[in-house]
Amino acid sequence: MTIEEFGIRESRRADCYRILAACFYPPYKDNLLKGEPLVGLKDALAVIEPSAGTVAAALADEVASTKEVDLSIDFARLFVGPFKLIAPPYGSVYLEKGEKMMGDSTIDILDVYRKAGLVIDKDFKDLPDHIAAELEFMHYLIYKEVESIQKGEYEEVLKWITMQEEFLKIFLVPWIPEFSNKIIKDAETPFYKALGELLKMFVPGDRVSENLPKELAVEAV
């Protein structure tokens, strides 16, 4: 794989995280079908994780055939409440003893955001370890990686890759399978069941360092 091909692959990988993050916001069909076209997720996964492409295609089909009110009700049941959350979308619930929210892991994740040069947007009204925030952070890290590839700054590329892999290992992969299983088990709409399946297929297996081109492999030695 050439450095140019790697850059294209990484741009598509960034798209996967960006569109997956959008799926965990309140489900407005115009957003899911137009502003964040789910068909683009299928195309990106055809390069990144082909086995997940069929599931990604089902997302677009299901959101098109499901009433927006049904999506909204299922979204609220799974991720919002008002009673006990079926699938809490917060990493701390799975990483902290006693399913505690806003624990040490939440503080740690804020530190990671700051070290990457980010702060939580004032318009974001949820916790910093919400699944959408964490997926968007992965998109940002990959975006910075691609930007460095285009500039030929290979040491910077490796820095952003290292940050991605550490974030995946510490903050995302440990809780994604359990979270995904809750969605798959209890979602009432095929859209959210497919979303749980796709998240479980894509995130735990995401390993960018296994696909480094020779230019970056030399830098990594």
- Mean predicted confidence (pLDDT) in 126-154: 94
Least confident of 3-12, 42-51, 78-87: 42-51
Q: Minimal CA–CA distance to 23: which of 185, 106, 171, 139?
A: 139
Return d(Cα 192, Cα 186) in angstroms, integer: 9
- Reported as a single tens digit per residue, the pLDDT across 78-90 is 999 777 889 999 9
Long-range (24+ apart) CB contacts under 8 A made by 122-131 are: 127/90, 127/92, 127/101, 127/102, 129/90, 129/91, 129/92, 129/105, 129/171, 130/24, 130/89, 130/90, 131/21, 131/24, 131/89, 131/90, 131/91, 131/179
Q: How many CB atoms lie within 10 A of CB 35?
A: 9
Q: Minimal CA–CA distance to 208: which of 55, 43, 40, 17?
A: 17
Strand partners, 90: 130
Q: How many CA atoms lie within 13 A of 80 on its CB side?
A: 12
Classify residue 122 by its DSSP letter: T
Least confident of 65-74, 120-129, 157-166, 175-184: 120-129
Q: What is the mean pLDDT of the chain?
A: 87
More confident residue, 210 or 72: 72
CB 9 within 8 A of CB 219: no
CATH of region 3-220, choose from 3.90.1150.10, 1.10.3720.10, 1.10.3480.10, 3.90.1580.10: 1.10.3480.10
Q: How many CB atoms lie within 10 A of CB 94?
A: 17
Q: How confident is the model at residue 221 (pLDDT cuts 50, 70, 90)?
A: very low
